[in-house]
Structure formats: structure tokens, C-alpha cells
Amino acid sequence: MRLEEKISKAVANAVEALFGETIEADKIQLQQTKKEFEGDITVVTFPFVKLARKSPEETGRAIGEWLLNNQKEISEFNVIKGFLNLSIRSAFWVEALNAIAEDENYGIRSAEKDAPLYMIEYSSPNTNKPLHLGHIRNNLLGFSISEIQKANGNRVVKTNIVNDRGIHICKSMLAWQLFGNGETPENSGKKGDHLVGEYYVRFDKEYKKQIAELIADGQTEEDAKKNAPLMQEAQRMLLAWENNDPEIRQLWATLNSWVYDGFDETYQRLGVDFDKIYYESNTYLEGKTEVEKGLAKGVFYRRPDNSVWADLTSEGLDEKLLLRADGTSVYMTQDIGTAKLRYDDYPIDKMVYVVGNEQNYHFQVLSILLNKLGFSFGKDLVHFSYGMVELPEGKMKSREGTVVDADDLIDEMVATAKEISKELGKMDGCTDQEMDELGTVIGLGALKYFILKVDPKKNMTFNPKESIDFNGNTGPFIQYTHARIRSVLRKADEQAIAIEPSSLDAISDKETFLVRLLMQFPDVVKEAGDEFSPALIANYIYNLVKEYNQFYHDFPILREETAEVRNFRLLLSANVAKIVKTGMGLLGIQVPEKM
């Protein structure tokens, strides 16, 4: 039983014994004692004043005396107005640390066979461009949310839906066909997704030229966009693809294969993976079938131009296009098909879409449409809506080629981490291979932590320079602290100092505070799961590391002469390192043994 639960139950017993009234333990207000007062846990006694028919101070003193006599964890108390401050015996904190040390997977729950199954969709790339900084935030959030749900005892299927068809894909295909001159990843030395992305940018460049020419000839901008030969040809290519034109299908398969190889390389570098990948080229037909069924049932309607729509005005929304006049599908149609296939494939209890907040309306509509089509899971889907990520210079645009490429950013982070680490002496004594490996761990740790420490609902600005700092709320600071602790533990081992369960009966306030922080880890993991927020884990780990570093500077560990005290501090250090490694692992971040 958690300490807070014990205290709440004891206070409820005290109120019944002293004042003859029964009160539920979960209604009792507890808080951490403020630093300016002596104590560990504070009980708010104002709610009991009427029952006691005493002043707040007298009520607090009565409850405090009862707890002191009946609850072994309480060593002393003091009352400040309506607040009863309780001090907990050191032996309790020592026993708590011993219990944490015994549990190798402290704070992590294993999934039972009948545990809820969460399917978590993230990444969702388009095969017309490489992954960029926005995708990095998406992938890191999706992977971390998946790991946190696992840690809360849920079964998890990590899934990806690849947007491998549609007009945007045809744009890069057409540009390669017109301007590529047979360029391939092999003969150009370019990564496949980068190569295809260049032709997407090339399409936009040539398309804008055509628009400008048509406007100069007297067309309106709207008409020029529709009548530009490149756009019309791209539309014809899309229709040919949907009609299974063998030449177009072969071109599509070739370019997509280049992109998939590029994606896989980037995913591997980021340390993210998937249990199941769906492709829109396989799901859009399923979606069209469901739309046709809805049309037959009168759920949707067809306009004179042959397009199919959903009227959502009764839900306070607008009308939503589901099939274009030429019969081609839209994203919504594809998502309907994908959802159906997923629920056919898995007994999903919770479907979570990790998609940016610019798609809030899309998922609101998807939920309504799935429900209208008779799918019970429609109402319960979760859109994990996260904020956009920008650079200090501002927003990024794929079609204009102004995005920050994921691979380039990873390269930059690793190179910078290696350079700074060498300057600070963090790599002294390392071989070239060890320096490369450590640079990768630190660089990716800096990138991941900087992104994940931010409340996912908020927009954020990613600043590479700020992220690689060995001081402050950064990944490298946490990684260095872990390496520092591991160094202490190695030295203890070299000196043949065995770390055993502690039997100390008195520890310092700082040591008590660190144990309390360790005890909070399971609650933080649960809250992070409930809130779908890796930031809660990240900032908890930072606070733990910050407190430990103060302890490390103020208290001797290996130099401590009293063997029992030295053993306790080594035990405390080892478990701080354990929780740091576990917590950072939930963020997908490695922590080095040496640094």
C-alpha cells in the first residue's frame, strides 16, 4: 500500500475514533509538506472542524496525537493553523528503498493475456517525400506512447499507414517521368526517399511556372491552377493508376520501393518500429466499398456530378466529400477502409491516432462517419492531437523544399554531440568506434528528449543548439548523470564493496526526498499513460536527476567512512540509475554506461 493510502486510511480511522464519524479515505486531502515547514506529508484538517467542534489547531493536534500513538510510520507532528504536518520515520523510507531495489521492473506492469489491446498509429508518411522534422515528433511521440501503454500493462500493436497513392504521389511520379532521365538511387548515390522528394519539389516549381504563364494569358488564378497541363496530366495519371494501368502501376511500384528503403533506414536510426504496416493502396478500395454501402442505405448521397457526400449539418458540421465525381477516393474514404481492416485484423479495445492538431476536424468527422456506417468502434477512437514543431526560422513547406530533412537533422545532432563531448572531455579514453557510438547515443538522446519533454498538445520550436547541453533540462544532462552513477558503482565493485539491503534507522532530508521521488515513479508512469503524455516521464526524470546531482555534490558516497551509511547511499544511487534508465527507455532514449 502506498504511503498516502496508509495515511489517508489512518486519518479516517482517527476521525471515527475521535469524533464518532465515518469518512471515506479517498475524501481526505493530503499534500506534500511545504519546504518552509517541518514534515513530509500534510493533512488538511479544515473539513473535520465541524465534526470535532474544536478550532482547526485543536482538531489537528487531536488527530496528530492519535496518529502518533497508532501509526508506526509517524515519528512526530506539528500543526500550523488548519494543516497537520506529519513526519515519517526514517525506517519507512529505508524499507521503501529496499523494496524498490528488490523489484527489477519497478514501476512497470506486465500485460496479462486479457489486457486491453491498444492499436497506436503513428508516422503515416507520404511516399512523395522523405521524413522531416514534423515526422520526427510524430514518430517519437507514437513510439513513446506505445512503450508507456505497455508499461501500464496494456497490450499494444504499433501500426503505420503509408500514404502511397493519390494526387501527391502522382506529382512526383510525373516529374520523374518528365525530368528524371532514368535517375535512380543506385546511379545517383542518393537515398531513395530523398530522390523522389526532389521530384515532388520539381513538380511544384514547374507547375507554378505554368500557372504564371496562364495568368499572363488572361486566365484567373483559380482557372490557371485547374488548367495547368502538369496538373491535368497528374489527374489523368491518378485515374490511370486506379484503373490498374500496367505502365503507371510499374512506375508507382518502382518509385515507392525506393522510398520504402529510405524510410526503413530512417526509422532504424530513430529507433522506432511497427508491428503492422498498412498501405492506402490496399485500404482505399475497402473504403470505397463501405461508402457505396452507406450510399445504398441512405447514409450518404450522390450529387448530379456523380460525387458522393456526407451531410453532417445535423451534427453542427458541414458536408464532407467521400468520392470525387470521377470516382476517385479522398483521405476520409481511405481512413474508413483502414479502420475496418484493422478491426477485422485485431480485437482492438482502443484505437489511437497520433496525428497533428491540424487534423482535429478530420478525426471528428471520421468518428461520426464510422458510427453512421454502423461500426461500434467509431465513437471510441482517440485522436492524440499534438502541436506542430517549428524551427527558430519558422514553418516548413515540403513542396517548396524548405523542410528540415530527418536524416540531415540526425546527422547534424550526432556530429554536434560528438564535437561538444570531445571539447568537454566526455570522450577521453574512448576509441574512435566508441566515440562514434557515444556521439550517436548523445545526439539522438538530445533530439528525442528536447522534443518529448514538451507537453505534446503544445506547438514547439526545436532549437538544436539548446538541445545539446550538458546542463539544464536536456537529454545529455540526464545521460551524463546516469553515466556518473554507473562510474561510482563500478568503483564500488572494484573495491569489492557489495551493495546490500539497508537497515539504517536515520537518513537525511535530501536522502528522504530522493526516496520519495523514486516512490512516485509508478504513479508518474500511470499518469503518463492516462494522459498520453511522455512529457510527464521526461520532466519527472529531469527532477530526479537534478535532485540526485545536488545529493552527489553534498554527500560523500564512496568516501563515507560509516559502512552502513555508505551502503545506503550506494543503494540509493543504484536505484536512481535504474529508474533513470527505465524512464528514459520509455522515451526511446538510451543512457550510456560511460561518458
Domain shared by 240 and 295, yes or no:
yes
The total domain count for the chain is 3
- DSSP percent split of the chain into helix, strand, coil, nearest 5: 60, 10, 30
The answer to whether position 106 is within a domain reads: no
Domain shared by 306 and 266, yes or no:
yes
Domain shared by 174 and 269, yes or no:
yes
CATH number at residue 462: 1.10.730.10
Domain shared by 254 and 164, yes or no:
yes
Q: What is the 3-state secondary structure (H, E, C) of 71-121?
A: CCCEEEEEEECCEEEEEECHHHHHHHHHHHHHCCCCCCECCCCCCCEEEEE
CB-CB contact of 524 with 516 (8 Å): no
The answer to whether position 76 is within a domain reads: yes
In angstroms, the CA 193 to CA 174 distance is 16
Which of 357, 390, 423 represents a domain boundary (last residue)? 390
Q: Does residue 127 sit in helix, strand or coil?
A: coil
Q: Which conformational region is residue 353 in: left (phi greater than 0), alpha (psi within -120 to 50 degrees), or beta?
A: beta
Q: What is the pTM of this model?
A: 0.90
Strands (E), 220-361: 276-279, 301-302, 308-311, 319-323, 350-356
* Sheet-wide strand order for 382-386: 276-279, 155-162, 117-121, 350-356, 382-386
Query: What pLDDT digit, counting tens, does each position of 465-489 carry?
Result: 788 888 889 999 999 999 999 999 9
The answer to whether position 526 is within a domain reads: yes
Domain shared by 444 and 366, yes or no:
no
Query: What pLDDT digit, counting tens, does each position of 274-306 carry?
Result: 999 999 999 989 999 999 999 999 999 999 999
pLDDT at residue number 402: 53
The answer to whether position 142 is within a domain reads: yes
Query: What pLDDT digit, counting tens, does each position of 574-590 carry?
Result: 999 999 999 999 999 99
Q: Which three cell numbers stand for residue 68?
A: 502518533
Domain shared by 38 and 140, yes or no:
no
The answer to whether position 426 is within a domain reads: yes
In angstroms, the CA 50 to CA 551 distance is 44
Query: What pLDDT digit, counting tens, does each position of 110-167 carry?
Result: 999 999 999 999 999 999 999 999 999 999 999 999 999 999 999 999 999 999 998 9
Query: What pLDDT digit, counting tens, does each position of 402-425 carry?
Result: 568 899 999 999 999 888 888 888
Structural domain harbouring 162: 122-390
CATH number at residue 197: 3.40.50.620
Query: What pLDDT digit, counting tens, does each position of 60-112 carry?
Result: 999 999 999 999 899 999 999 999 999 999 999 999 999 999 999 999 999 99
CB-CB contact of 543 with 497 (8 Å): no
The answer to whether position 557 is within a domain reads: yes
Domain shared by 171 and 305, yes or no:
yes
The answer to whether position 98 is within a domain reads: no
Domain shared by 424 and 383, yes or no:
no
The answer to whether position 105 is within a domain reads: no
Domain shared by 422 and 544, yes or no:
yes
Domain shared by 268 and 174, yes or no:
yes
Domain shared by 37 and 171, yes or no:
no
Domain shared by 36 and 185, yes or no:
no
